[in-house]
Amino acid sequence: MTQISMSARWHFFWLALATLAHPWVFATPASAQTPIVLDSQLPKALQRCVSAESLQASYARARDRHAEASESQDTRALRVELRSQDDTRAEVTQVELRAFRGARYLGARVLPIRAQDCSALPETLALVLDFLSRSAPPEPDTPPDAPPAIPLVRQPIAADLTEPAPAPPHPSTESEWAVGLGMGAFFGALPQTAAALQLLAALRIPRIELRVHATVLWPQERSIAEGSVDMSAYELALEGCPTLQLEPWALRLCFGPRFGIVRASSRGFAVRNRGPTEFSLYLGAVPEVAFAVTATTWLQLTAGIALALQRPKFVVQFQALDPSLQLDGPSALRAEIGLNVVQIF
| Nearest residue to 98 via CA among 86, 85, 88 | 85
Rg (CA), the chain: 41
Residue 2 scores a pLDDT above 50: no
Q: How many Å apart are CA 224 and CA 322, to the nearest integer? A: 14
Task: For residue 200, name the pLDDT band (cuts at 50, 70, 90).
Answer: very high
pLDDT in tens, 303-321: 999 999 999 888 776 665 5
Q: What was the pLDDT predicted at 271?
A: 53
**Better pLDDT: 43 or 343:** 343
Per-residue pLDDT tens for 139-163?
Answer: 555 555 555 555 555 555 555 556 5
Round the average pLDDT of the chain to a whole number and report it. Answer: 78
* Domain edges within the chain: 34-154, 176-344
**Residue 160: exposure state from Cβ atoms within 10 A (0-12, 13-18, ≥19):** middle
Residues 186-195 have a mean pLDDT of 92
pLDDT band of 168, cuts 50, 70, 90:
very low
Q: Is the model's pLDDT at 287 over the cut of 60?
A: yes
Instruction: Please report which confidence band the pLDDT of residue 89 belongs to, taking 50, 70 and 90 as the band edges.
Output: low
Q: What is the dihedral of CA 215, 219, 220, 224, to 10 degrees?
A: 130
Q: Confidence class of residue 30 from pLDDT cuts 50, 70 and 90? A: very low
The pairs formed by 75-79 with CB atoms below 8 angstroms and a separation of 24 or more are 75/31, 75/32, 75/33, 75/34, 75/35, 76/34, 76/101, 76/102, 77/34, 77/35, 77/36, 77/37, 77/101, 77/102, 78/34, 78/35, 78/36, 78/37, 78/129, 78/133, 79/36, 79/37, 79/39, 79/144
Tens-digit pLDDT profile for residues 255-265: 999 999 998 88
* Mean pLDDT along residues 9-13: 52
Sheet strands (E) in the chain: 36-41, 78-84, 92-101, 104-114, 153-154, 176-187, 194-205, 208-224, 227-246, 249-267, 270-272, 277-292, 297-310, 315-317, 325-326, 333-344
pLDDT at 315: 77
pLDDT tens-digit map of 209-220: 999 999 999 999
Question: 3-state DSSP call for residue 64?
Answer: helix
Counting Cβ atoms within 10 Å, is residue 264 exposed (0-12), middle (13-18) or buried (19+)? buried
Q: Give the least confident one: 20-24, 58-62, 74-78.
A: 20-24
Residue 1 has pLDDT above 50, yes or no: no
- Crossing angle of helices 52-64/120-135, nearest 10°? 60
Q: What is the pLDDT of residue 201?
A: 97
Residue 171 has pLDDT above 50, yes or no: no
Band of pLDDT at residue 49, cut at 50, 70 and 90: confident
Q: Is 299 exposed, middle or buried (0-12, 13-18, 19+ CB in 10 A)?
A: middle
User: Residue 111 has what pLDDT?
Assistant: 83
User: 176-344 — its CATH code?
Assistant: 2.40.160.20
Angle at 196 between CA 194 and CA 197, to 5 degrees: 160
